[in-house]
Chain A
Amino acid sequence: MKLLYEKSKNGRTAFSLPKLDVPEIKIELEEELIRKEEPNLPQVSELEVVRHYNELERKNHSVDSGFYPLGSCTMKYNPMLNEETASMFNNIHPYLDEEHIQGALELMYNLQKYLGEITGMDAVTLQPAAGAHGELTGMLIVRKYIEDNGFTNKTKVILPDSAHGTNPASAKMAGFDVVEVKSGPDGRVDLEEFKKVMDDSVAAIMLTNPNTLGLFEKDILEIAKIAHEHNALLYYDGANLNAIMGKVRPGDMGFDIVHINLHKTFSTPHGMGGPGSGPVGVKAKLKDYLPKPVVDINDEGKYVLNYNIPKSCGRLRTFYGNFSVMVRAYTYILMMGKEGLKFASEMAVLNANYLRKKLEKEFDIAFDDVCKHEFVIDGSFLKEYGVKTLDFAKRLLDYGIHPPTIYFPLIVHEAMMIEPTETESKEELDRFVEVMHKILEEAKTDPEILKGAPRNTPVRRLNETIANKQLKLRG
């Protein structure tokens, strides 16, 4: 399909402005600072733009168009209401006087409170713009904690080999050395291995629980105890919070810091890869290190932006975070309420286990055990039919299903990580199971179908080698 740039024709426009109504003056800039050549943006009519984006839209799979069991990404349904409530707050400037934005501040204050309650944390910042940004925030809080307490020898962060790539990257960005701990044969952190790498030089341990295999870290209380004995902090990657809302709280398990992906558990859209929002919650002892500002309530009951956090880890982005994402998450929390959030978690877990059971006979489930909201298939067994997980995934596209996350977590070869979420019906899950079995049958009888997949998609399998070798990054 053509780029809009290629549809451009001199003299067309989709835009109009009122005539300039002030007396024109000569531009006083130095000659060299005045633009000589106009940027080559499209010259098209409005209808051409409309048709272009309509055509692009049709080339996207989305939650609204079909099943999207992309593990670890929690592609649950994004309620329409969220979009409407978010739009009620579009026209607010961040530097208005506090008294003119009391509604926005109250919403943030309440959201801080609710997220603290859900995670079992004492204080929350809404500033981080995504999950990884929350991780960085958390790691910088760890840094401040170390400095403040004179733990000068603490230079390391431990994380399991099943961790999401953002975890090591965030720890590194915050200036820590990363130490990986191997998962045991049951897919959980191996307690003995953990003890081996744990010492006083460890500043923090980053875990997600349930972990990225969808398994609950059964030794979590022991891990927390050991961590705290060494004055290390326990960090919770909350991307997997959807499994445990109202059931168990990271704060109660011994975690000191948590980030939450609002764009996962709290139903705000992923927007093709963002914006997200990654609030961070901490235990009371870490409250003084949060980024500035946080929203507080003053003696007169007025909501205020509190910049008075002398030991703050700093500022992680401009203004106050992804506010309109917060509105969506807040809307969702009000709609679901305490009983609905818990029910959502239960149904997410029910759906995952239902799929696991339905698939376990024919597919090789890595660590086949009661899972939480997701589980991982080990696709290595497909080798005997001459196909790979990649081929299997591409074939799913032909059936209108977005494939699971593939080749992650790295510790499972040929991984296929499935997360159905609670918003999918039993009928949809049954259809998925049927398609999975059908493709497996195809793999056995006619593997070329998989290797040549997809066929029913806007484009066939794309050549990534060419894309990376002959970089063409703009039209």
Chain B
Amino acid sequence: MKRFPYIPHTEEDIKEMMNVIGINDIKELYKDVPKLFEGDLNIPESKSEIEVKRELKELAGRNIDLDEYAMFRGAGIYKHYIPSAVYQLATKRNFITAYTPYQAEVSQGTLQALYEFQTAICELTGMEVANSSMYDGGTAVAEAILMASRVNKKHKSLVAKSLHPEYIEVSRTYTESQGLEIELINYDEKTGRIDLEELKNKIDENTSSVVISYPNFFGVVENIKQIKEILPENVLLIVNAYPLSLGLLEAPGKLGADIVVGEGQSLGNHMSFGGPTFGFFASKQKYIRQMPGRIIGETVDEEGKRGFVMVLQTREQHIRRAKATSNICSNHALMAVVASVYLSIVGREGLREISYQNYQKAHYLAKKLIETEKFEPVFEGEFFNEFVVKPKFDLNKFNENLFEEKFIGPLNLGKFCDKLENHALFCATELNTKEEIDYLVSKVGEIDEITL
């Protein structure tokens, strides 16, 4: 009998167990299963740990490792510094190998960690309540649109065209089948901010929500307050926020947001090819019963001792079934806890400092690039750590040259929009050194010589 490291059964065990059941062959346990498949699956035979590790290492070796590259690309996933303690703590085995805290008494670790996560998200966003995570930023936006529509029973959402293009796609997928409408609002070509006139004109009695990104996909910081001011009272303002910017930018809640969501990857999570990431989701307290996802609350045990449990479960699919606020069951709790550990380590002042450095580094980079006169600024709107510039040369070729020097250059926005072909979305974070930035800029200086 072949042995497998994860299966403890010996031949002896199997025999004894079959005896208890009263069978002579395992096949008898499948006698009610139609014989449709005989023989072996067409997948490789089992391997040893040494072989598998080698194979995976070889596969991993066919990707570049961004630890070895200077990174100037963001667009939704960001390379930030992850303090050593974050993964050591968040990936303890009693966290990763536990499931949904169905038995609260033996899940206080999970429950308290997620409760602290909810607290951190409320603090960051300036909102009153938060859930304990969605799949990612895109699905969080989509669910926010659905939630707004449950709140005010209206069916149209006005979505800023400057929201991450993939979030727009996800939102369309989520809403279309439910008869909701999504209409895009252009950005002002000069500032890069949402076109307030167009927004004003498109609001009508069917408008349920307005969705903006803060900063937006072009890195430009929207003025939430101005937007809120033109919205009728029962139209909900949904803000998709980049959490690390919130050490510097005013909390969306303070500026009038009704629902604040976002992608949490930048809070201590690896890039890992875009997943798993997690979505955070916060709102005003009065909407709590329409909120999707799992929510943790504080309570006491029989002896009056503090403890935590899942609350408001009557909104959820396992109880409400077809009438649930959402179908989400497994969420991204572990990634949320990673973020909670990260925010605990970074702390109050650390967050401000990271935010500040991101701003400064990106602005230094932008200034230097413009000074070369080989890049034109594209938007006048103030930005955080990402910005768009238009090179007077072929961006893809430039990026190829940079790659040779272990630099990942900016994203070519042509990937998402023909009109923006050869426009560069640059990103700088606290990880980019002045030396790196200067070197990149010097490469721009050499451009005539490298004949692009």
Q: Is B154 an interface residue (CB 8 A)?
A: no
Since A39-B348, A271-B332, A338-B44 are in contact, a sample of 11 more A-B pairs with Cβ atoms closer than 8 Å, ordered by chain A residue number, is A14-B345, A43-B349, A49-B85, A57-B92, A94-B271, A118-B43, A318-B274, A319-B274, A319-B277, A426-B13, A464-B311
Q: B63's contact among A23, A89, A130, by CB below 8 Å, is which?
A: A89
* Contact yes or no, A60 B94, CB < 8 A: yes
* Contact yes or no, A338 B223, CB < 8 A: no
* Contact yes or no, B8 A92, CB < 8 A: no
- Chain A residue with Cβ nearest B113: A56
Q: A91's contact among B97, B102, B271, B308, by CB below 8 Å, is which?
A: B271
Q: Is A32 an interface residue (CB 8 A)?
A: yes
Q: Is A129 an interface residue (CB 8 A)?
A: yes
Q: How far is the CB of A272 from chain B (nearest CB, A)?
A: 4
Within 8 A of A (CB), among B245-288: 246-251, 254-255, 263, 270-278, 288
A426–B83 alpha-carbon span in the complex (Å): 42
Q: How far is the CB of B333 from chain A (nearest CB, A)?
A: 4
Beyond A95-B415, A370-B29, whether A22 also contacts B360 by CB under 8 A is yes
- Chain A residue with Cβ nearest B169: A315
A372–B172 alpha-carbon span in the complex (Å): 40
Beyond A60-B108, A466-B299, whether A334 also contacts B327 by CB under 8 A is no
- Given the complex, which residues of A lie within 8 Å of B8, measured CB to CB? 423-426
Within 8 A of A (CB), among B314-362: 316-324, 326-335, 337, 341, 343-354, 356-357, 359-361
- Chain B residue with Cβ nearest A68: B99
The stretch among B133-141, B200-208, B387-395, B443-451 that forms the contact with chain A is B133-141
* Contact yes or no, B30 A130, CB < 8 A: no
The main secondary structure of chain A at its interface with chain B is loop
Q: Is A154 an interface residue (CB 8 A)?
A: no
- Chain A residue with Cβ nearest B146: A173
- Chain B residue with Cβ nearest A133: B135
Q: A103's contact among B63, B174, B312, B354, by CB below 8 Å, is which?
A: B63
Most buried by B among A27, A342, A426: A426
* Contact yes or no, B344 A474, CB < 8 A: no
Q: A331's contact among B44, B52, B323, by CB below 8 Å, is which?
A: B52
Beyond A15-B345, A340-B4, A474-B129, whether A59 also contacts B108 by CB under 8 A is yes
Q: A464's contact among B49, B135, B309, by CB below 8 Å, is which?
A: B309
- Given the complex, which residues of B lie within 8 Å of A200, measured CB to CB? none
Within 8 A of B (CB), among A369-419: 370, 372, 393-394, 397, 402-403, 405, 408
Q: How far is the CB of B370 from chain A (nearest CB, A)?
A: 13
Beyond A62-B95, A90-B271, A318-B167, whether A129 also contacts B135 by CB under 8 A is yes
* Contact yes or no, A320 B275, CB < 8 A: yes
A359–B18 alpha-carbon span in the complex (Å): 15
The stretch among B74-82, B230-238, B371-379 that forms the contact with chain A is B74-82
A333–B52 alpha-carbon span in the complex (Å): 10
- Chain B residue with Cβ nearest A142: B177
Q: B347's contact among A21, A44, A131, A132, by CB below 8 Å, is which?
A: A44
- Given the complex, which residues of B lie within 8 Å of A405, measured CB to CB? 102
Q: A275's contact among B109, B255, B276, B434, by CB below 8 Å, is which?
A: B276
- Given the complex, which residues of A lie within 8 Å of B361, measured CB to CB? 22
Within 8 A of A (CB), among B154-207: 164, 166-167, 169-170, 172-174, 176-179
* Contact yes or no, B36 A252, CB < 8 A: yes
Q: Is B70 an interface residue (CB 8 A)?
A: no
* Contact yes or no, A33 B223, CB < 8 A: yes
Q: B62's contact among A27, A53, A106, A174, by CB below 8 Å, is which?
A: A106
* Contact yes or no, A319 B60, CB < 8 A: no
Q: How far is the CB of A9 from chain B (nearest CB, A)?
A: 11
Q: A34's contact among B16, B249, B276, B354, by CB below 8 Å, is which?
A: B249
Q: Is B417 an interface residue (CB 8 A)?
A: no
* Contact yes or no, B311 A338, CB < 8 A: no
* Contact yes or no, B37 A275, CB < 8 A: no
Q: Is A447 an interface residue (CB 8 A)?
A: no
Q: How far is the CB of A267 from chain B (nearest CB, A)?
A: 7
Most buried by A among B110, B277, B329, B331: B329
* Contact yes or no, A89 B37, CB < 8 A: no
* Contact yes or no, A460 B274, CB < 8 A: no
Q: B129's contact among A78, A276, A473, by CB below 8 Å, is which?
A: A473
Q: A17's contact among B7, B67, B98, B357, by CB below 8 Å, is which?
A: B357
The stretch among A161-169, A191-199, A225-233 that forms the contact with chain B is A161-169
- Given the complex, which residues of A lie within 8 Å of B397, measured CB to CB? none
* Contact yes or no, A41 B321, CB < 8 A: no
- Given the complex, which residues of A lie within 8 Å of B246, measured CB to CB? 35, 39
- Given the complex, which residues of B lie within 8 Å of A285, measured CB to CB? none
Q: Is B407 an interface residue (CB 8 A)?
A: no
Digit string of A313-333 for contact with B (CB within 8 Å is 1, else 0)?
111111111111101001101
* Contact yes or no, B123 A40, CB < 8 A: yes
A334–B34 alpha-carbon span in the complex (Å): 27
- B side interface size, CB within 8 A: 205
Some 23 contacts from A to B, beta carbons below 8 A apart, are A4-B116, A17-B354, A43-B348, A84-B53, A94-B76, A95-B77, A104-B63, A175-B179, A271-B332, A272-B110, A272-B113, A273-B110, A275-B278, A318-B274, A322-B276, A324-B275, A346-B26, A353-B29, A454-B105, A466-B300, A473-B115, A473-B129, A475-B119
* Contact yes or no, B364 A25, CB < 8 A: yes
- Given the complex, which residues of B lie within 8 Å of A27, measured CB to CB? 248, 359
- Given the complex, which residues of B lie within 8 Å of A103, measured CB to CB? 58-63
* Contact yes or no, B46 A340, CB < 8 A: yes
A241–B392 alpha-carbon span in the complex (Å): 55
Q: How far is the CB of A363 from chain B (nearest CB, A)?
A: 15
- Given the complex, which residues of B lie within 8 Å of A29, measured CB to CB? 221, 249, 382
Q: A471's contact among B124, B137, B297, B433, by CB below 8 Å, is which?
A: B297
Most buried by A among B13, B109, B354: B109
Q: Is B2 an interface residue (CB 8 A)?
A: yes
* Contact yes or no, A92 B177, CB < 8 A: no
Beyond A136-B327, A166-B327, A461-B105, whether A49 also contacts B345 by CB under 8 A is yes
* Contact yes or no, A337 B47, CB < 8 A: yes
Beyond A249-B37, A344-B7, whether A38 also contacts B178 by CB under 8 A is no
A306–B289 alpha-carbon span in the complex (Å): 40
- Given the complex, which residues of A lie within 8 Å of B31, measured CB to CB? 370
A380–B164 alpha-carbon span in the complex (Å): 52
Beyond A339-B46, A370-B31, A473-B130, whether A357 also contacts B21 by CB under 8 A is yes
A166–B321 alpha-carbon span in the complex (Å): 7
Q: How far is the CB of A451 from chain B (nearest CB, A)?
A: 11
Q: Is A299 an interface residue (CB 8 A)?
A: no
Within 8 A of A (CB), among B104-135: 104-110, 112-116, 118-120, 122-124, 128-130, 132-133, 135
